[in-house]
Structure 1
Amino acid sequence: MSTTVFARPKLQLFGVATGYVVRKIGLSDLTDALRLGWEDFKAIPTHAVVLCLVYPVLGLFIFRAVLGHSLLPLLFPLAAGFTLIGPFAGLGLYELSRRRERGEDPGAWDAMHVLRAPSFGAILGLGLLLFVLFGVWIATADVIYIATFGYEAAASIPDFATRVLTTPEGWTLIVVGCGVGFLFAVVALCISVVSFPLMLDRHATAIDAIRTSLQAVRMNPVPMAAWGLIVAGLLAVGSLPFFVGLCVALPVLGHASWHLYRKVVEPDPNPPREEPRSPIGHRYAADFPASLFPWSRER
């Protein structure tokens, strides 16, 4: 493995110490993170959770776009924009990988332990920032479409595809839209590549988490650029056909992101002691509906 440790005890970014040591990594570390993410995916049935949470949302957007074509021009920006909020959406997957790393045998409901994260308030704040970035991207994509084709809506899906794929205006839309989308994706990658796993794992403010992510990108420009391309490529492949492949791509990327964080940020030399999870034991009908929320019985 090509990982090497950055020697200074504290990072300095814009003259401010972050207190988290960032390592230099290589492309082989990305491969290893994906391998570990795949192992987590096989061991933890998170695909069912992803199907339950992501598919209804995507289905609603698609259903609305097919029946009333007002959202049709934004369908691709909506799907592509998931990469902007993906780091926040993957919180539960990070938690499952963290627990499996500790030798536990986590279940899907253990993902809810993110609510007890040391920096949960900071996580919500940075998550809100990513959602704002997502909203700005959608508004920008809409402006680009209107500037290219005007306010006239496409009559049908084939008509929309013909406009975009066979006309000079459509080619301009593709080039400009993808170029602007790339800039949004770079911003999201730089501020969040290790931010959420760090805040889940340590007592870190949102500012320190963003600074650490920026430092990770600055120290590892080629691996981080490759990671961004890997994420975009797997999401693109997973979106075809009809987003079916996302039930594999999303959890694998989520788990792999945790392992990437472990490779990039030096572990806490004095981690807080966590009590081992007590066994759930038998569940009785009288416990319903509390039995649906096993973490509520923990002391």
Structure 2
Amino acid sequence: MAQTKPAQAHWDAEGFHPSAHINPIGLGDLTLSLKQGWQDFLAAPTQLFFLCLVYPAFGFVLGRAAAGNALLPLVWPLLAGFALVGPVLAIGLYEISRRRELSLAVSWRDMFGVLKSPAIGGIFLLGLSLVATFVIWIGVARWLYGAFMGPVAPLSLGAMMSELLHTEHGRMLILVGNLVGAGFALWVVAVSLVSFPMMLDREVSAGEAVLTSLAAFRANPGTLIVWGMIVGLLLFAGMAFLGVGLAVVLPVLGHATWHLYRRLVV
């Protein structure tokens, strides 16, 4: 598919009007996007790249947690935070999917073609904003733990889990913490679902891409909330066996996001 230069986005009394047309989508579009994402993954497997990226990160977090109890309360927020920075890791995958649409030969090396994109500056800035969101989430998670459980670090993982599961304040922390984390995750979905692939695909600024992504979320809130839930469940499943499953889940979701963008934006 050839790149196109869309009409100018504009504001009026009713708010922001994106330069691109936003389509309504349904649950069937999510299924088809996941199937196409799987096909792209099979055409250009990238699991070794993501394994080399994910495994050291998991080893660092779990190793630090084992070495000092002060980090134990942040193990789950750190691992769950993968959903917040996942769109940054997926940028190269969009390039592979874009090349497959053009019937070009693809390999895992094409991931790095995104570095030659004219939009790399905007992509970098938006990526930094997601990293900042991750940092804020960790700060909020640390504050929530202190507010519900007190300032003293847990004696061990077993002691922490026992207090979380068998006390009222522990169960409240689980509930509130996961609700707040879900809010962060939905914000990232709303901001990044369209913006990253759109900057790679079209001549738009980071600001317009983000506003278009928010407009797409506003036009399809129910479907995209379900998409966020699917992403969360697959990431959680991928964390099994010390995160090795993420080496497949992350690229499949990345490719699927490109195809979902194609269905959302014309």
Per the normalisation by structure 1, the TM-score is 0.82
Which amino acid in the other structure matches residue 178 of structure 2? C
Residue type of the partner of 1:226?
A: V
Q: Name 2:122's counterpart in structure 1.
A: 122
Give the deviation of 1:10 after TM superposition.
7.0
Q: Flag the 1:228–1:206 CA change in 2: closer, same or farther, 3 A.
A: same
Match of 1:58 in 2: 58
Q: Report the 3-state secondary structure (helix = DSSP H, G, I; strand = E; otherwise coil) of the residue aligned with 1:163.
A: helix
The secondary structure found in structure 2 opposite 1:155 is: coil
Q: Is the 2:9–2:208 Cα contact (8 Å) retained in structure 1?
A: no
Instruction: Answer yes or no: is the 8 Å Cα contact 1:11–1:21 preserved in 2.
Output: no
Residue 106 of structure 2: SS of its match in structure 1? Answer: coil
Measure how far apart 1:125 and its partner are: 1.0
Aligned position for 2:175: 175
Q: Which runs of 4+ in 1 moved over 2 A?
A: 9-18
> Given that residues 27 and 223 in structure 1 are in contact (C-alpha distance below 8 angstroms), is that contact kept between their aligned partners in structure 2?
yes
- 2: CA distance, partners of 1:178 / 1:168: 16
| Fraction of identical pairs, as percent | 46
Instruction: State the match for 2:29 in structure 1.
Output: 29
Which digits, 9 at most, give the CA deviation of each residue in 1:104-151, with x for residues without a partner?
221212111111112111111111111111111100000000111112
| Letter paired with 2:130 | L
CA contact (8 A) 1:35 1:256 kept: yes
Distance in 1 of aligned mates of 2:86 and 2:129: 13
Q: 2:233: which partner in 1?
A: 233
**Matching residue of 1:200:** 200
- Aligned match of 1:158: 158
| Partner Cα distance (1:112, 1:178) in 2 | 34
Aligned residue runs from structure 1 range 269-288, under 5 A: none
The answer to whether the 8 A contact 2:54-2:244 is kept is no
Shift of 1:12: 5.8
Unaligned runs of 5+ in 1: 1-8, 267-299
**Superposition deviation, residue 11 in structure 1:** 6.3
Q: Is the 8 A contact 2:91 2:114 kept in 1?
A: yes
Deviations 1:84-122 (A, max 9, x none): 111111101111111122112212121111111121111
Contact 2:91-2:196 at 8 Å conserved across structures? yes
Write the distance in 2 (CA, Å) between the matches of 1:243 and 1:187: 24
Q: Which residue of 2 aligns with 1:102?
A: 102
- Match of 2:163, SS state, is helix
Which has the larger share of helix?
2
Equivalent residue pairs, number:
258
Query: Given that residues 95 and 111 in structure 2 are in contact (C-alpha distance below 8 angstroms), is that contact kept between their aligned partners in structure 1?
Result: yes
CA deviation after TM superposition for structure 1 residue 45, in Å:
1.5
Moved more, 233-242 or 251-260: 233-242
CA distance in 1, matches of 2:143, 2:78: 14
Q: Which moved more, 1:11-20 or 1:147-156?
A: 11-20
CA RMSD of the aligned region, Å? 1.5
Question: How far apart in 2 are the matches of 1:42 and 1:189?
Answer: 25
Structure 1 residue matching 2:228: 3-state secondary structure: helix
Q: Following the alignment from structure 2 to structure 1, what is the Cα–Cα distance between the partners of residues 204 and 9?
A: 14
SS of the aligned residue for 2:243 comes to: coil
Aligned to 2:70: 70
User: Which has the bigger relative contact order, CA under 8 A and spacing at least 6?
Assistant: 2
Letter matched to residue 229 of structure 1: M
Unaligned runs of 5+ in 2: 1-6
**Distance apart, 1:244 and its partner CA:** 2.4
